Amino acid sequence: MKKELAAILGMPRWAKQFIAMSVDIVCALLATWLAFSLRLDEWHRLIPEQKYAYFLAVALAIPVFIQFGVYKTVLRFTGVHSMALMGKAVAIYGVLYFTAIFMFASPYIYRSIGLVQPIILFLLMALARITASLSFGFNARGKNGRPVLGTLLIYGAGHSGMQIASALRQSGQYFLAGYLDDGSEYQGSTINGLMVYAPNEIGRLIDTHGVTDILLAMPSIGRAKRNEILADLRQHQVHVRSLPDLVDLAQGRITVLDIKELDPDDLLGREPVTPDQVLIEKNSRNKIVLVSGAGGSIGAELCRQILQTGPKKILLLDHSEYNLYAIESELRESMQAQQKEGVEIIPLLGNVRDVARLDSIFKQWPIDTVYHAAAYKHVPLVEHNPAEGLQNNVLGTFNLAMAAQTYGTANFVLISTDKAVRPTNVMGATKRFAEMVLQALATNSKTCFCMVRFGNVLGSSGSVVPLFREQIRSGGPVTLTHADVTRYFMTIPEAAQLVIQAGAMAKGGEVFVLDMGQPVKIYDLAKRMIELSGLTVREPLVDQLSETNRQNGNAGEIGDLLGDIEIVITGLRPGEKLYEELLIGENPVITSHPRIMMAKEDFLPWSELTTELSLLQENLGRDDFAALIAQLKRLVQGYQPFYLKTL
């Protein structure tokens, strides 16, 4: 039976429409026979004088059903909308059929047939469609017996769209409902058996075809046009997804099951900056580069970007064995896929707090450039563990910087954060302290030290994007600390590219600040993610009806009608700000890059800073948390502790 069902599903669309039409013809004839049987109160025996009633049923029904688009719906996804559409068609047919029977009534054809037959016809057609839905919808399987994942429209009828359609058909994991395309030259045509529709037909297609997913297959369009499309799709309850890399698909490294969620830059909603290739390559091409924290979100992306520039060696330093293994494997696979040769990838287990380990690394390899991304960055965790934050973020930076200076490293770039500006948390204060270390060192060093300060990175570990995605996937609620929380955002690739370019512009001691564009309200980001997942935000009613129902104890029932995913406000976490800043002082200095500025930040001279570092080590040795916080308050401009729980 499964083979027969699969064979029918595999038929071209016109053949399946012909079968549906044939079933409706049988239903029309059967409904007429049953109407006569009910009128006569016995099983009807057809006589020649009654053939007119049977012929009229078919002659009127099929053209009306075609006109109403009954055969454009997908039977396996029969729902309320398709039943309502069929009901309207049968109602019009019923009026026409009754009129014809009334006008040409004879002793052998009864007027009551014109009333009863359309009702029976609707019931028979509904039964046929429900049977088809149960048979094909619930039993539909892809290849290898896997359940079908949904019904999908491909947005973009170009080369990429056709390629992914071919791959999807081979996998059998999605039903393809057709293409969407803005080009009028494509609309109304058929490509490999799939109809091309105009985007303004999305709502109808979702209802009639049971569409669950829309796949964006337009890799070459600009960000403005992509944002316009996404804004339109947010109005419909459909899951918007992104095209996988077609090279990876062709080479078998991924499958259509890896069709991915929208990229973080789709959620950001602005144009990323095209990198300056000269700056990208300046400090890494044919050089030995070390990346600390190489297995983290930013560190890993730095490694990916650096690999493309053709370095001599990449040294991957991380204290996490798994993260180090993951990024090393990814880089080696990338080299193999791109047939790159000559780049040596060296994984190094180690911690920036281990001076002896750093010394052995810099002795063994004449490192040209260091990108220091190793840090504890999760605000509440560092707030609860201030000593660890200071050890890692301040002393770890000092250790790595001293090793680089001692062994003649040319360039050292610290990855910093907007949370270092007038911080309300220990993490931000430790990062500003680390900046001050490099500023002081840079005044009398052959190594070019600089810092790059930027805001939140979409999709990084600890970012709201993966958290929100998991919460949406689990059915909610999406948790938000405050309705007005606003943050600067960048994508991981954009942040890494700007870090590399800023480092290439440094002369020594600069605090670079990245232009992050307009800040983003986290509530709006959460709402956008929910809507682009094909769901709606559950919000409370404020009208009189809701108040009446609440008084009657029906508030829970109301909630079910208001949307799918609730956004819950949990309250600000320890050390969290409503708004972040990028500058301590005013009037940043413009650079040659349109998205990179230099901040003018005060710092302690090296002679004073060494004293403070010694005091820091003494306070850490005594586990004197009060003294540590007091020292941070004294050194870090604007630091106002929000909350501290000592362990």
Active site residue 2: no
Strand partners, 216: 155, 242
Q: Please state the three-class secondary structure of 275-333 as a single string.
A: CCHHHHHHCCCCCEEEEECCCCHHHHHHHHHHHHCCCCEEEEEECCHHHHHHHHHHHHH
**Are the C-beta atoms of 461 and 470 separated by less than 8 Å?**
no
**3-state SS assignment for residue 581:** coil
**425: closest CA among 133, 640, 187?**
640
Q: Which residues contact 50 (CB under 8 A, 6 or more apart)?
A: 36, 108, 109
Nearest to 628 by CA among 380, 440, 383: 383
Taking only Cα atoms into account, the Rg of the chain, rounded to an integer number of angstroms, comes to 33
Q: Is 483 exposed, middle or buried (0-12, 13-18, 19+ CB in 10 A)?
A: exposed
Report the interhelical angle of 51-67 vs 13-40 (nearest 10°).
140
Distances in whole angstroms, Cα of residue 621 to Cα of each of 52, 75, 80: 103, 73, 70
Assess contact for 500 and 306: CB atoms under 8 A.
yes
Query: Rounded to whole angstroms, how far apart are CA atoms 359 and 314?
Result: 17
Per annotation, catalytic residue among 16, 282, 287, 419: 419
Pairwise CA distance, residues 119 & 104, whole Å:
20
Helix, strand, or coil here: 256? helix
- 604: tokens are 């302690």
Q: Cα dist. 473→244, 466, 565 in Å?
A: 20, 10, 10
Q: What 8-state DSSP symbol labels residue 448?
A: E
Ranges of H-type helices in 172-285: 202-209, 223-233, 246-250, 264-268, 277-282
How far are the Cα atoms of 13, 74, 132, 139, 564 from residue 77, in angstroms, in the given order? 15, 6, 9, 12, 21
Count Cβ atoms below 10 Å from residue 314 Cβ, excluding itself.
24
Cα 151 from Cα 106, distance rounded (Å):
50
Best CA proximity match to 142, nearest among 237, 245, 260, 255: 255
Instruction: Tell me the catalytic residues.
Output: 419
